[in-house]
Amino acid sequence: MRNKSVIFWGGTGQAKVMRPIVEMLDMNLEVVFDDTDGLDSPFSDVPLLNGNNFLKWSTDKNLEDYSFVVTIGNPNAQARIDISNRLESEYNLKALSLVHPTSIFSDFSAGKGIQVHAGVIINPLAKIGDYCILNTGVIVEHDDILHDGVELGPGSTLCGEVEVGKNTWIGAGSVVRQKVKIGSNCIIGAGSVVIDDIPDNKTVVGNPARRFL
């Protein structure tokens, strides 16, 4: 049975996009937490509390009734993973995956806490790791592998048998050629065309994509 009450951790754009999916699932977003001082809530009807107040907020709550989504995009993927792990291990909260009903998918596997926006296509035998974000209109082709914390920007396309390492961020409108391997903690600039393997911790841009850092 799905828990009806939801917590978001992260109070900016990603939260705005994920809330409609929560409501489509007939669930209720009760509160948003964020570690940024002075940040206003993205919603007029949902309070935003600093993350330091989580323990106080939770003292009179039955946390078994709640699920959470860490609505923090890349390049802060490791923060998304770390916060999720803490909420699970210290508070026994359950990570919620949010998948927009207009997405199309078949015979793929996914970890926990994924966020899939409208119009995403995931083709057979793709593997999606924990806490990945697939933004609007993404295409993940057959046999692709996304490790934990990957974010694919709006309109990006991964051709078949691509592998993307942990916490890598692929910018909007980028295309990755089939069978390319991209390392962990990389940034692929918006609109790039990746035709060669990319090692860990690199930033690349352009068509074809070239390393500049």
Measured distance CA(175)–CA(165) in Å, rounded = 16
Residue range 88-115, pLDDT digits in tens: 999 999 999 999 999 999 899 999 999 9
CB 108 within 8 A of CB 123: yes
Residue range 9-49, pLDDT digits in tens: 999 999 999 999 999 999 999 999 999 999 999 999 999 99
C-beta neighbour count of 104 within 10 angstroms: 10
CATH fold, domain 97-198, is: UDP N-Acetylglucosamine Acyltransferase; domain 1 (2.160.10)
- The CATH architecture one would assign to domain 5-96 is 3-Layer(aba) Sandwich (3.40)
What pTM was estimated for this model as a whole? Answer: 0.96
Q: Which regions of the chain carry the CATH code 2.160.10.10?
A: 97-198
Residue range 35-46, pLDDT digits in tens: 999 999 999 999
Q: What is the mean pLDDT of residues 152-159?
A: 98
